[in-house]
Amino acid sequence: MPSTHRGVGWQPLPTPARGERGPTDPRRRRQLVWNIEQFIADDPTRRLDLPHTVDATARARGCVRMHFLPAAYERAVWFWLDPHFERPLARQVAGELLATLRADGLNAR
């Protein structure tokens, strides 16, 4: 069955930079970025998935089986912090994740 995700397939995560420290693990931050970038909605579009349609039609012995590409939406990540929370760790973690997401070109606020 053909893959329904667009763009490049699986890519390994880069190794963490030396001396990278913080409350969250660098590998987990990179995995978070990858998961957000690879999101594809279940909503169909009007754009035909030609390879999948041809394959399904051939398997159905010529009876046309149309398949459409899934929708992909611009994503934004919002961090909401409770102003009454007194521990600085929450702000530090949110700041780290915000910087990581923005550095990779994702819309984070």
Write down the pLDDT at residue 1.
Answer: 44
Instruction: Please list the alpha-helical segments (H only) found in the chain.
Output: 26-37, 50-59, 88-103
**What residue ranges do the domains of the chain occupy?**
22-39+75-109, 41-72
C-alpha span between 81 and 51 (Å, rounded): 46
Strand partners, 107: 76
Which pLDDT tens digit goes with each residue over 27-49? 777 777 776 766 777 787 899 99
φ, ψ for residue 69, nearest 5 deg: -70, 145
Under the banding of pLDDT at 50, 70 and 90, the label for residue 20 is low
Partners of 34 in the β-ladder:
none
Residue 64 to residue 21: CA distance in whole angstroms: 55
Question: 101 vs 12, which has greater pLDDT?
Answer: 101
pLDDT single digits (tens) 58-104: 999 999 999 998 887 777 788 888 888 778 888 888 888 888 888 87
